[in-house]
Structure 1
Amino acid sequence: MKKIMFIEPAIFLSAFALSLTSPLTTQYIYQRIWKETSNYSYIDNSNISECETNKSNPIYGIQKEVQKKASFFSLQMDLSGLIPGIVVTFILLSNSDQKGRKGPLILSSIGALASSIWLCLLSYLGLPIQLLIASTLISAFCGNSATFLGGCFAYIVDQCKEEKQKTIRIAIIDLILGLVTGLTGLSSGYFIKELGFMWSYFIISVALTINLIYIVFFLEDPISVSSSQDSSTSWSKNFKKSFLRAYMLFKNIRGKQRTLLCLLLFTMITYFFVVFGSSPIFILYELNSPLCWNEVYIGYGSSLASISFLTSFLGIWIFSYCLKDVYIVFIGIFTTTGGMALASFAKTTLVMFLVRIPFLFTFMPLSVLRSMLSKVVPSTEQGTLFACIAFLETLVGVIAYSAFNGIYSVTVAWFSGFTFLLSAGLLLIPGISLCVIMCTSWDEDDRAFLIQESSEENVVN
Structure 2
Amino acid sequence: MYLTNVWWSIEPMVVCVQLGNSLFMTALQIIVKDRCINASNATNSSAVNSTSMEDSLQNAMSSFYMIYRPLIQLVPILPGLFLAWLGDRGWRKAPIVAPLVGFMLSRLLLLLMLLLDWPLEILWPEVILLGLSGGFGVYWGGTMALVSLGSTEQDRSKFMMRAELVNGLAGLVGCAVSGHLFSLSTGSLRPGVVTMVVCLLLYTFCLLYTIFFLQVKQIAPNDHKHQREAKTTAPSGQCGRILNIVLLLAGGILYNAAVCASKNILVVFELKEPLHWNAEEVGYGNASGFVIIISSFLGAMVMSRWVSDHTLITIGMLSFSTGIFLMAFVTTTYMFYIARALTLFALIPMPIIRSLMSQQVQGSSYGMVLTSLQLSMKVSSVGYTPLYTKIYQQTLSWFPGFVFILSSIITILAIIPISILRSGLAKRCSYQQETDKEYLLPPQET
Q: Deviations over 1:199-222 (max 9, x none)?
A: 211111111011111111111334
How many pairs are equivalent? 408
- 2:141 corresponds to 1:150: yes
- The answer (yes or no) to whether the contact 1:93–1:383 under 8 Å persists in 2 is yes
Q: Percent identity?
A: 22
Distance 2:252 2:345 in 1: 15
Distance 2:349 2:6 in 1: 33
Q: Which amino acid aligns with 2:159?
A: R
Deviation, structure 1 residue 39: 5.7
Distance 1:305 1:425 in 2: 21
Q: What's the secondary structure of 2:343's corresponding residue? A: helix
Q: Deviations over 1:124-178 (max 9, x none)?
A: 11111111111100111111000100000000110112x2310011001111121
Q: What's the secondary structure of 1:221's corresponding residue? A: coil
In structure 2, the residue matched to 1:84 is 75
- 2:35 corresponds to 1:32: yes
Distance 2:130 2:48 in 1: 41
- The answer (yes or no) to whether the contact 1:78–1:402 under 8 Å persists in 2 is no
Query: Quick one: which of 10, 13, 28 aligns to 1:10?
Result: 13
Q: Which amino acid aligns with 2:118?
A: L
Q: Which runs of 5+ in 1 are unaligned?
A: 42-55, 224-251, 453-461
Q: What's the secondary structure of 1:315's corresponding residue? A: helix
Query: Quick one: which of 327, 341, 345 aligns to 2:329?
Result: 345
User: What's the C-alpha RMSD, in Å, of the aligned pairs?
Assistant: 2.6
In structure 2, the residue matched to 1:165 is 155
- 2:182 corresponds to 1:192: yes
Distance 2:389 2:21 in 1: 20
Deviation, structure 1 residue 91: 1.3
In structure 1, the residue matched to 2:97 is 106
- The answer (yes or no) to whether the contact 2:93–2:210 under 8 Å persists in 1 is yes
Deviation, structure 1 residue 337: 0.5
Q: Which amino acid aligns with 1:279?
A: K
Deviation, structure 1 residue 407: 2.7
Q: What's the secondary structure of 1:428's corresponding residue? A: helix
Q: Which amino acid aligns with 1:157?
A: S
- The answer (yes or no) to whether the contact 1:5–1:221 under 8 Å persists in 2 is no
- The answer (yes or no) to whether the contact 1:308–1:359 under 8 Å persists in 2 is yes
**Aligned CA distance change for structure 1 residues 299 and 258 (closer, same or farther; 3 Å):** same
Task: Report the TM-score when normalising by structure 2.
Answer: 0.86
- The answer (yes or no) to whether the contact 1:328–1:364 under 8 Å persists in 2 is yes
Q: Which amino acid aligns with 1:202?
A: V
In structure 2, the residue matched to 1:123 is 114
**Aligned CA distance change for structure 1 residues 262 and 354 (closer, same or farther; 3 Å):** same
Deviation, structure 1 residue 189: 1.5
Q: What's the secondary structure of 1:355's corresponding residue? A: helix
In structure 2, the residue matched to 1:73 is 64
Moved more, 371-380 or 133-142: 371-380
**Aligned CA distance change for structure 1 residues 288 and 152 (closer, same or farther; 3 Å):** same
Q: Deviations over 1:261-302 (max 9, x none)?
A: 110111111111111121132221111111112122222222
Q: Which runs of 5+ in 2 are unaligned?
A: 186-190, 219-235, 437-446
Deviation, structure 1 residue 399: 4.3
Task: Report the TM-score when normalising by structure 1.
Answer: 0.83
Deviation, structure 1 residue 13: 1.0
- The answer (yes or no) to whether the contact 1:94–1:387 under 8 Å persists in 2 is no
Distance 2:307 2:428 in 1: 12
Deviation, structure 1 residue 349: 1.6
In structure 1, the residue matched to 2:228 is none
Q: What's the secondary structure of 2:275's corresponding residue? A: coil
**Aligned CA distance change for structure 1 residues 39 and 98 (closer, same or farther; 3 Å):** closer
Distance 1:27 1:448 in 2: 55
Deviation, structure 1 residue 379: 2.1
Deviation, structure 1 residue 448: 7.8
**Aligned CA distance change for structure 1 residues 444 and 32 (closer, same or farther; 3 Å):** farther
Q: What's the secondary structure of 1:38's corresponding residue? A: helix
Deviation, structure 1 residue 57: 5.9
Deviation, structure 1 residue 442: 5.1
Query: Quick one: which of 186, 199, 207 aligns to 1:204?
Result: 199
In structure 1, the residue matched to 2:312 is 328
Distance 2:265 2:75 in 1: 25
- The answer (yes or no) to whether the contact 1:5–1:222 under 8 Å persists in 2 is no
Q: Deviations over 1:165-201 (max 9, x none)?
A: 1001100111112111111221222122224112211
Moved more, 30-39 or 326-335: 30-39
- 2:200 corresponds to 1:216: no
Q: What's the secondary structure of 1:414's corresponding residue? A: coil
